[in-house]
Amino acid sequence: MNNLKIVLIGGAPMVGKTTVGLKIAMELGFGYLCSEDLADGIIAVTNRNTHESLHILEQVDHREYFMSHSAARMVSDAQTRNKACWPAVERVIMNHMNYLGPIVIEGWDILPHQVRKLQVEGVAALWLTAGKDVFEQRVMQQEDYFVNTTGMEMFMQRFIERSVSYDELIRQHLDELELPRVDVKPDMSEQEIIERCMEAIGQGCKNGRG
């Protein structure tokens, strides 16, 4: 991993990207960035009129959005927003490649097709994928996120449906592009997940990606 400068970690909401990203950053001695924070910053200084795609997920009532849209529509909206955010993510990647130093970047807007187009050395990418049982487990563990909302159980169910649908789409793209993923299982420990991710990163480096 001597030439490794950038680690990208993608996956659906609640699959565990943040936990994995932070642990890997600490293990490698890299900086860390959640791309969702970058997206929030961009959205704060733009508006729907000038950057409609970036603001597509902004709703007056977040719960109402989940309750009134199908999983397919929510995944489509997420893809639109994430593709719009990619140029900013790519700029951060290139800045760290050139002069800011090694970093781990995680987020659901780390998209397989965009990563495949990167023509730079020193980048390793992987995606976390999981079955519905994992997303159900994670959502229950993060129940505080959903409290004080009308129809909390339905809201949680719709959130899970979106994550499962997004995960299925990511899997399809990864298989098409032959990009690495780590399948998270309900009984896997955090350390086991980290170890498998580190193995995937190391394998990517051996194959010339890092």
The predicted pLDDT at position 205 comes to 56
The predicted pLDDT at position 208 comes to 44
Nearest-10 crossing angle of helices 71-95, 152-177: 60
Q: What are the mean pLDDT values of the chain's consecutive 10-residue runs (210 residues total)?
A: 88 95 96 90 84 74 80 92 92 92 95 90 94 92 72 86 96 95 94 94 62
β 103-106/6-11 pair status: parallel
CATH number of 6-206: 3.40.50.300
| Sheet containing 31-34, strands listed edge to edge, beginning at the edge strand earlier in sequence | 31-34, 103-106, 6-11, 123-130, 181-184
The predicted pLDDT at position 27 comes to 94
Total residue count of the chain as it appears in this document: 210
Residue 173 sits at φ, ψ, to 5 deg, of: -65, -40
Where exactly are the structural domains of the chain? 6-206
pLDDT tens digits along 96-153: 999 889 999 999 999 999 999 987 889 999 999 999 999 999 888 887 777 666 678 8
Report the predicted TM-score, pTM, of the whole model to 2 decimal places.
Answer: 0.91
